[in-house]
Each structure stands twice: as C-alpha cells, then as structure tokens.
Amino acid sequence: MVLLLSNSVLAAAANIQGQLAQLKKERLELAQTRHALENQLGGLNRQLRVLDQAWVKAKQALDAVQKEERSVRSKVTALKKKIQQLTTTIHTIKERMQQESSAVWRQAGRSPSWLDVLAGTPVTEIPHRQYMLASVVKQQQYDRTKLQNSIKNLQVAQATLQDKQQALTQLRQQKKQVAQIAKQQLRAKRNLARKVRSNVHLKKDRDATLALQQKGLIGLLKRIEHQIEARKKAAKKHGKPDKKGRVVIPIPYNITGNIRKHRGNIPWPLRGKLVAHYGARLDQNRPKLKGVLIAPASNSKRGRKVRAIANGVVRYADWFGGFGLMMIVEHGGGVMSIYAHNDAMYKKIGDRVKAGDIVSDAGSTGWIERVRLYFEMRVSGHVTNPEKWCRG
C-alpha cells in the first residue's frame, strides 16, 4: 500500500513537472514569435513599447499606493468609530455608577462622592453598605472592571489612530509624487502620438507597422493553433509511456461549454459604447479594423474591468506591437477572443477562465491615446464580426 501511494505521488509530481515544462516551452515559442514581429516593426514601435512599459509601471505604482491609501483610510474610519463607541461606553458606565453611588450616599445622609468608588474605594466599605443591595454591589464591581478595560482600549485606539493618520498623510504625499510620474509618462506617450500625426514620414511608418502587425497576429494565432493541436495529440496518447518509459499526463486542452451555441447572445467583455465598428478605418491610410473598439461606460478602475466572454484558456498574455498589452483566450471549437490596449492583465498563459471572470483592465497601451478596449474574435483563424456574436 505504501509503495503504491509512493508511486502515485511520484507520478503526480512527474505530471506537474511535465506540465510546467510544456508551458515554459509554449511561452518561449510565443515570445519568439513576438520578437520576430518587433524586429519587423522597427524603431518607432520599439520606442512605443518603451513608453508603454514606463507608463504601465508608473500606473501600477499609482494603483498600489491608492489601494494602500484606501485601506489605511478605512482603518482610520473604523478606529474613529471604535473611539466614539468606547467614549460613549465610558460615559454610560460613569453615569450609572454615579447614580448608584449617589443613591447609597443619600440613604447614608452624606453628599454623593462617586469619585471615591472610581478612585479605588472598595464598594463594601461604603458607609451604610446595608442599604446597598447585593445586585448593586455586583453591578458596581462589574462596571468598575469594564470601565478600566474600556479606558485602556480607548488609549490603545487613540495611539493607533495617531499612527494611522501619520501613515495616511505620508501615503497622500507619496500618491502625489507617483501620480506626477504617471502623468509625465502618459504625456511622453501622447507627445509621440502627436509627433507621428504631424510628421508624414512617421505617420506612414506607423500605418505600415499596423499592417504588419495584422500579419504578425495571424502568425501568432497559427503558433497557438499548432500548440493546441499538439496538446490534442498528446491527450490521445494519455497513459502511454514515452521512449524513456515515463508517463506524462498532458495539460488538458478540453474546455467546458460550447460558445458556438450562444452566438448572438454572448455578453460583451466591457460595459460601454462601441466607438468603432467591425471593418471601420480609424484613419484613411490605416487598415480596416478586424474587430471593434469599445469605450468604457465609466473611466473608474471598476468601470474598466474586462471580462472573459466565455469559458476558456489563456493562450497569450503579453505586449504585442501596436496592440499594446494583449490577451488571447481560446474557447474551444476553434473560437478565440482577443483583448488589446489593456493597462493591466490579471491572467497568464495557461490559466483557465470562466465566463465573466475579470481578465484585464481596458487602457491606452499601443497605438491608442484614450482608454479603449480592442476586441476581436476569430473562428478557425479567420476574423468574424463580434457584433454578430455579442448581444445588444
């Protein structure tokens, strides 16, 4: 039994190692395809990529600082609420203890002095203690303990609040600095775009690279299709040892669900407005769009979330020419969806996604100046109009 279990563990470990090696090989192949495209696109596109990378890095830093600021601000709010509750509790306890002590002192014929109780005078030593009921004595002892604990907790909360407020002040200063850097990087990219628009030669260069990148995308998709076919063949040999006698289970290629059945009723990847339809030209000399451009309904971080249109597997997630940060998801049956111009991507090659999963943030990487999502669909490598697949 122990031997069988050991063999099972070893087989599982070998399987994982085999899958990781396969993924590494696929990533390397796709990177080589991307590098080949970059060499074709020339210096202008390399300059764009450098600016894109600097902008994305600055934006990520800004997002991180803003996230930390929100977290600290939330803690400050919670601490203020806690301090208010503790202050109210302390006031209530003091009032109740004062009223109880006053009642006892009045029956003793003396002026009330509840401070004696708080100062540490044992309740049992109060004059005419026979007038204090046992329940009152018990309540006084409980209240005194609760009062002391509340005062300690209040002091701790006040000290913590002071620390958090100082941290919040520092974060706000840091956010200003990081935001300034992000603005500078975005300005540099927009300056390049303006320079290209005003220079005839640069504009022709850009338009030529846009035509080349379409060919580059076709090459990338063919490479991905080749990898998918290789997985299918490996899956058919599942359980059969290789030449060295090892059994390596291939990475699953099957995808649950049939996207073709839902044609015409698939949700769009981004809530917003179509600002460029399939087949449109963004400029007279630029090639026709093989997909659509979507402007988010809201430019807030939440409003720019891009979601997978159906179940699938991420086959590409990296920078790709004028598309900027681009992701390709395979949905099975030869159907693939492409999401480009992202500012951030939350999935990597090999990740499985479900319909509606957040995969990226729409952005302005690549040859685009405003926040947009370029969305394209392919069936067996051929372009298809996304408007015929997505509803509304």
Q: pLDDT tens across 325-335, in order?
A: 999 999 988 99
Please say whether the beta carbons of 263 and 379 come within 8 A: no
Best CA proximity match to 272, nearest among 163, 149, 374:
374
Q: Determine which helix (DSSP H) or strand (DSSP E) holds 10, and give its type and residue range.
A: helix 2-41
Q: What is the pLDDT of residue 130?
A: 47
DSSP string for residues in 80-144: HHHHHHHHHHHHHHHHHHHHHHHHHHHHTTS---HHHHHTT--GGGSTTGGGS-HHHHHHHHHHH
**Alpha-helix residue ranges (DSSP H) falling in 199-337:** 200-236
Annotation: CATH topology of 210-388: Glucose Permease (Domain IIA) (2.70.70)
Which pLDDT band holds residue 358 (cuts at 50, 70, 90)? very high
pLDDT over threshold 90, residue 389 = yes
d(CA 97, CA 114): 7
d(CA 281, CA 263): 25
Which pLDDT band holds residue 246 (cuts at 50, 70, 90)? low
Tens digits of per-residue pLDDT, 174-212?
Answer: 989 988 998 888 888 888 888 887 777 777 777 777 777
Q: What is the pLDDT of residue 242?
A: 57
d(CA 311, CA 232): 18
d(CA 258, CA 126): 83
d(CA 388, CA 277): 11
- Amino acid, res. 101: S
d(CA 287, CA 322): 13
d(CA 194, CA 189): 9
- Amino acid, res. 207: D
State the DSSP code for 281.
-
d(CA 288, CA 35): 24
Q: What is the pLDDT of residue 128?
A: 47
pLDDT over threshold 60, residue 233 = yes
CA 146 to chain centre: 43
pLDDT over threshold 60, residue 309 = yes
Q: How far is CA 73 from CA 79, 159, 169, 386, in A?
A: 10, 16, 10, 42
Output the six-digit token pair for 373: 């999502």
Domain locations in the chain? 69-194, 210-388
Best CA proximity match to 232, nearest among 213, 250, 216, 208:
250
3-state secondary structure of 385: coil
pTM across the whole model: 0.72
Q: How far is CA 283 from CA 48, 198, 372, in A?
A: 19, 14, 16
How much is the average pLDDT of 276-294? 88
State the DSSP code for 342.
E
State the DSSP code for 372.
B
Q: What is the pLDDT of residue 254?
A: 59
